[in-house]
Amino acid sequence: MSATMDKSAGGFRAWLNKRLPVDQFMADQLTGYYAPKNFNVWYFFGSLALLVFVMQIVTGIFITMHFKPGEATAFNSVEYLRREVPYGWLLQYMHAVGASFFFIVVYLHMARAFLYGSYKGPRELLWVFGMLIYLALMAEAFMGYVLPYGNMSYWGAQVIINLFGTIPGIGPDLVEWIRGDYGIGDATLTRFFSLHVIALPFILALLILLHLVALRQVGSNNPDGIEIKENPGADGHPKDGIPFHPYYTLKDIVGVGLFLTFFAIVVFFIPTFGGLFMEAPNFEPANPSSTPEHIAPVWYFTPYYAILRAVPDQKLGALLMALSVAVFLFMPWIDRAKNKSVRYRGITSKILLGVFFVTFLMLMWLGLKPADGIYVLLARIFTVLYFGFFIALFFVSKWDGNGPVPDRVTYNAH
Partner 1 sequence: MPTKFAIVLGAFALLSGAGAASANEGGHAGWQRPADNEISNLPSLQRGARNFMSYCSGCHSLKYVRYSRVAEDLKISDSLRDTYLVKPGDKFSDYIKASMPANDATEWFGKPPPDLSLVARSRGSDWVFNFLTTFYADPNSRQTGVNNLQLPGTAMPHVLASVQGVKNAVWKAEEHKGEDGKATVVPAFEKFEPGVVGSLTDEQYDEFARDIVNFLQYASDPTQVERQGMGIWVVLFLLMFTGIAYMLKKEYWKDVR
Identify the DSSP state of 28: I
Stretch that binds partner 1, among 50-58, 157-165, 257-265, 345-353 (CB under 8 A): 257-265
Which one of the spans 114-122, 174-182, 185-193, 263-271 is the region binding partner 1 (CB under 8 A)? 263-271
Cα separation of 179 and 72, whole Å?
Answer: 17
Shortest reach from residue 297's CB to partner 1, in Å: 14
As measured in angstroms, the least distance from the Cβ of 107 to partner 1 is: 12
When asked if residue 373 is in the footprint of partner 1 (CB under 8 A), the reply is no
- Which amino acid type is present at position 376? V
Are 394 and 374 contacting, i.e. CB atoms less than 8 angstroms apart?
Answer: no
Out of 218, 280, 325, 334, name the contact with partner 1 by CB under 8 A.
280
Within 164-203, the residues that bind partner 1 by CB under 8 A are none
Taking alpha carbons only, the member of 238, 209, 246 closest to residue 221 is 238
For residue 267, state whether it binds partner 1 (rule: CB under 8 A).
yes
H/E stretch holding 157: helix 151-163
Note whether 257 binds partner 1 by CB under 8 A. Answer: yes
If one asks whether residue 83 binds partner 1 (CB under 8 A), the answer comes out as yes
Residue (of 383, 368, 384, 387) closest to 308 by Cα position:
383
Q: State whether residue 186 is helix, strand or coil.
A: helix
Q: What are phi and psi of 93, to 5 degrees?
A: -70, -40
Among residues 166 and 222, whose Cβ is nearest to partner 1? 222
Cα of 79 vs its chain's centroid, Å: 28
Residues 108, 100: Cα–Cα separation, whole Å = 12
d(CA 155, CA 165): 16
The answer to whether residue 357 forms part of the interface with partner 1 (CB under 8 A) is no
Task: Write down the least CB distance from residue 88 to partner 1, Å.
Answer: 9
Nearer to partner 1, 4 or 261 (CB): 261
Distance, CA of 386 to chain centre: 19
If the CB atoms of residues 213 and 258 are measured against partner 1, the closer one turns out to be 258
* Pick 107 or 394: Cβ nearer partner 1: 107
Stretch that binds partner 1, among 201-209, 216-224, 274-282, 308-316 (CB under 8 A): 274-282
- Options 47-55, 129-137, 270-278, 325-333: segment touching partner 1 (CB under 8 A): 270-278
Decide if residue 71 touches partner 1 (CB under 8 A). no
Backbone angles phi, psi at 215, to 5 degrees: -65, -45
By CB under 8 A, tell whether 276 contacts partner 1.
Answer: yes
Task: Rule CB under 8 A: choose which of 80, 107, 330, 394 binds partner 1.
Answer: 80
Cα gap 222→283, rounded to integer Å: 44
3-state secondary structure of 242: strand
d(CA 294, CA 369): 8
Q: Which of 250, 312, 374, 404 is close enough to bind partner 1 by CB under 8 A?
A: 250
C-beta separation of 94 from 58 below 8 A: no
- Using the rule CB under 8 A, give the single segment among 111-119, 176-184, 193-201, 252-260 that binds partner 1: 252-260
Which residue of 107, 283, 390, 394 would you call a contact of partner 1, by CB under 8 A? 283
Q: SS3 of 35, please? A: strand
Among positive and negative, which fits the CA dihedral 327, 329, 334, 338?
positive
**List 72, 258, 351, 391, residue binding partner 1 (CB under 8 A):** 258
User: What's the CA gap between 51 and 148, in Å, rounded?
Assistant: 24
Q: Toward partner 1, which CB reaches closer, 147 or 368? A: 368
User: Least distance from C-beta 52 to partner 1, angstroms?
Assistant: 15
Q: If binding is defined by CB under 8 A, does position 246 make contact with partner 1?
A: yes
CA gyration radius for the chain?
24
Q: Does 94 bind partner 1 (CB under 8 A)?
A: no
CB of 327 to partner 1, least distance (A): 25
CA distances from 13 to 4, 5, 267, 364 (A): 14, 12, 42, 53
Residues between 19 and 48 that touch partner 1 (CB under 8 A): 37, 40-41
**Conformation bin of residue 291: beta by default, left when phi > 0, alpha when psi is -120 to 50:** beta
Residue 411's nearest CA partner among 153, 226, 267 is: 226
Least distance CB 373 / partner 1 (angstroms): 11
Q: Rule CB under 8 A: which of 223-242 touch partner 1?
A: 242
Residues that bind partner 1 (CB under 8 A): 37, 40-41, 76, 79-80, 82-84, 89-90, 242, 246-247, 250-251, 253-254, 256-258, 260-262, 264-265, 267-270, 272-277, 280-281, 283-284, 293, 365, 368, 411, 413-414
